[in-house]
């Protein structure tokens, strides 16, 4: 492969084809972005240029010896030699604290998107299994193999984002587990047991290896949440820190309206209504920290299960911190008050739709390992009679649903909605919700009934606080 050298501005380019000089001349890296991407026209087609900005002493030293653009070019060339499908690399560039790789543009979609949007996913999972077996055969460990780093074009998969990839002489079980665990991590909670069996059968591993992979996926998800929480108080791709505030990027000019009234004021929080947002002022920094961390994790997850946050005001000395968030009050009503006001007027079909919608909402949370530890009726908001969000974000935990957790949640819910909700509707909800959870349903039902009967029913009705006995 003949390499042509070309200088453009402060960047020295190493290119494999004539004509690329005019293409890379159009490219420049914005100083403040760690990564930058451009798709440019080239000889009737397109090329993709990705650049990296190195910051700090570690990044500067790494850049001197191993510019990431050059590494990705070298790895891409090696993978092509091995027969691994990846965009054809066309060159690289290196300048002051920046580097870039030039490669063929694949007009495809990420495999995670394809799997999420395709009803019949068996063929895609078989394609993934074959691709992972090929990486194992060729001793390729990607080190960041989430499915956004596999592109699908037609029926072919392409490996991208290669700068962390290693081609290992002695490829071992840990290398294989890294590839498989990262690949399945993004989709494992969304695919069915049948679809999981399709993948593992085609990939060809026994039950013991499958259990190891599933354990690693659990740890991977736990570590992902921990890492996102650590990033909740600094500048990231979704956050901006400025003058004692942490903003969700794009929300810097939102939530600036005038104070209207107090909604709630107790020993833990003060909730204030403004003309264009809600402020939740926390008495204790620990609860404020937890709430903001949870908001950030849910933002990275792309979840709409809670009100959209705008920014957090950091506490200073005696000044309390708060979170400014979307005002849901004009869009809906708390679940307990909703049931108190509407349940009696609902027919069978309307009640069934409500139960089905609420069940699907909770099941989607369980799949994402989102658990609310205070599932009272007043902590669930109903929008348009069939959509739901969770309040009190500080009480959210990111963990698998377990029988004891589910028991506590359902007892809380059972004793914070009106007594007149029929036994048939309560039972229909229980059976539908637990259909996707592997537990002893009879034992769980007995435990819920027993624990519920030991408490009064307490909820906020249309006319105020209500206390009822079974």
Domain holding 91: CATH number?
3.30.200
This prediction has a pTM of: 0.83
Calculate helix-pair angle for 423-434, 348-367, nearest 10 degrees: 30
**Ramachandran area for residue 290 (φ above 0: left; ψ -120 to 50: alpha; else beta):** alpha
> Are residues 343 and 450 part of one domain?
yes
> Are residues 179 and 298 part of one domain?
no
User: Are 103 and 90 within 8 A, CB to CB?
Assistant: yes
| Nearest in space to 49 (alpha carbons), one of 100, 89, 99 | 100
Per the structure, how many domains does the chain have?
4
pLDDT for res 32: 64
CATH code of the domain covering residue 376: 1.10.510
User: Are 150 and 110 within 8 A, CB to CB?
Assistant: yes
Q: Which residues of the chain have pLDDT under 50?
A: none
> Are residues 305 and 421 part of one domain?
no
> Are residues 98 and 10 part of one domain?
yes
| Nearest in space to 322 (alpha carbons), one of 372, 374, 393 | 393
CA-CA-CA-CA torsion for 271, 227, 76, 23, nearest 10 degrees?
Answer: 30
| Nearest in space to 2 (alpha carbons), one of 75, 76, 62, 90 | 90
> Are residues 194 and 122 part of one domain?
yes
Determine the 3-state secondary structure of 460 from DSSP: strand
Which residue(s) pair with 247 in the sheet? 240, 311
pLDDT for res 439: 86
Calculate helix-pair angle for 122-137, 193-203, nearest 10 degrees: 30
Of the three residues 63, 83, 104, the one that is the final residue of a domain is 104
Which residue(s) pair with 239 in the sheet? 248
Determine the 3-state secondary structure of 263 from DSSP: strand
CA angle 290, 295, 297 (to 5 degrees): 95
Query: If you count them, how many residues does the chain have?
Result: 470
> Are residues 252 and 151 part of one domain?
no
- Domain limits for position 153: 109-230
User: Look-up: residue for tokens 């309390």?
Assistant: 320
Residue 321 neighbours by CB under 8 Å, 6+ apart = 281, 282, 285, 288, 312, 313, 314, 315
pLDDT for res 178: 94
The distance of Cα 218 from the centroid of its chain, to the nearest Å, equals 14
User: What are the backbone dihedrals phi and psi of residue 147, each rounded to the nearest 5 degrees, phi first?
Assistant: -75, -5
And the tokens for 440?
Answer: 């002893």
Q: How far apart are CA 122 and CA 194, in angstroms?
A: 9
Of the three residues 65, 89, 104, the one that is the final residue of a domain is 104
Q: How far apart are CA 59 and CA 44, in angstroms?
A: 37
Q: How far apart are CA 326 and CA 171, in angstroms?
A: 50
And the tokens for 445?
Answer: 């039902």
CATH code of the domain covering residue 151: 1.10.510.10
pLDDT for res 137: 95
Of the three residues 230, 262, 287, the one that is the final residue of a domain is 230
> Are residues 464 and 343 part of one domain?
yes
> Are residues 457 and 375 part of one domain?
yes
> Are residues 435 and 336 part of one domain?
yes
> Are residues 356 and 445 part of one domain?
yes
> Are residues 342 and 454 part of one domain?
yes
User: Are 353 and 360 within 8 A, CB to CB?
Assistant: no
> Are residues 422 and 375 part of one domain?
yes
């Amino acid at each position: 492969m003949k390499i042509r050298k070309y200088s453009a501005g402060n960047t020295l380019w190493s290119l494999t084809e004539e004509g690329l000089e005019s293409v890379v001349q159009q490219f420049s890296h914005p100083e403040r972005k760690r990564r930058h991407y451009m798709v440019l026209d080239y000889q009737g087609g397109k090329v993709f240029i990705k650049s990296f900005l190195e910051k700090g002493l570690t990044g500067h030293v790494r850049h001197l010896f191993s510019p990431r653009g050059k590494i990705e070019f070298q790895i891409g060339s090696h993978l092509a030699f091995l027969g691994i499908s990846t965009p054809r690399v066309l060159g690289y560039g290196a300048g002051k604290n920046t580097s870039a790789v030039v490669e063929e543009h694949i007009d495809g979609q990420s495999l995670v998107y394809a799997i999420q949007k395709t009803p019949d996913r068996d063929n895609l999972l078989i394609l993934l299994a074959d691709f992972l077996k090929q990486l194992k055969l060729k001793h390729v460990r990607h080190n960041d193999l989430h499915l956004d780093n596999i592109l699908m074009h037609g029926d072919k998969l392409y490996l991208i984002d290669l700068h962390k990839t290693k081609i290992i002489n002695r490829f071992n079980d840990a290398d294989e587990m890294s590839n498989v665990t990262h690949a399945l991590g993004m989709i494992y909670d969304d695919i069915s047991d049948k679809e999981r069996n399709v993948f593992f059968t085609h990939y060809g591993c026994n039950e013991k290896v499958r259990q190891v992979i599933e354990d690693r996926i659990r740890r991977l998800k736990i570590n992902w949440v921990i890492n996102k929480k650590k990033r909740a108080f600094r500048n990231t791709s979704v956050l901006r820190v400025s003058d004692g505030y942490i903003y969700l990027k794009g929300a810097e000019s939102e939530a600036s309206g005038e104070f209207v009234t107090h909604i709630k004021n107790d020993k833990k929080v003060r909730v204030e209504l403004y003309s264009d947002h809600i402020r939740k002022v926390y008495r204790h920094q620990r609860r404020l920290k937890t709430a903001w961390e949870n908001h950030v994790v849910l933002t990275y997850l792309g979840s709409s299960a809670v009100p959209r946050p705008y920014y957090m005001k950091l506490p200073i000395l005696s000044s309390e911190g708060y979170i400014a968030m979307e005002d849901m009050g004009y869009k809906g009503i708390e679940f307990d008050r909703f049931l108190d006001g509407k349940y009696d007027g609902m027919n069978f079909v309307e009640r069934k739709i409500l139960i089905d919608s609420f069940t699907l909402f909770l099941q989607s949370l369980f799949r994402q390992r989102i658990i609310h530890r205070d599932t009272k009726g007043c902590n669930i908001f109903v929008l348009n009679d069939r959509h739901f969000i969770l309040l009190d974000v500080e009480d959210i935990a990111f963990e698998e649903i377990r029988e004891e957790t589910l028991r506590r949640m359902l007892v809380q819910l059972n004793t914070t909605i009106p007594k007149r909700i029929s036994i048939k509707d309560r039972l229909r909800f229980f059976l539908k919700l637990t259909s996707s959870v592997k537990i002893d349903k009879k034992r769980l039902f007995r435990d819920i009934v027993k624990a519920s009967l030991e408490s009064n029913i307490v909820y906020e009705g249309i006319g105020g606080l209500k206390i009822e006995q079974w």
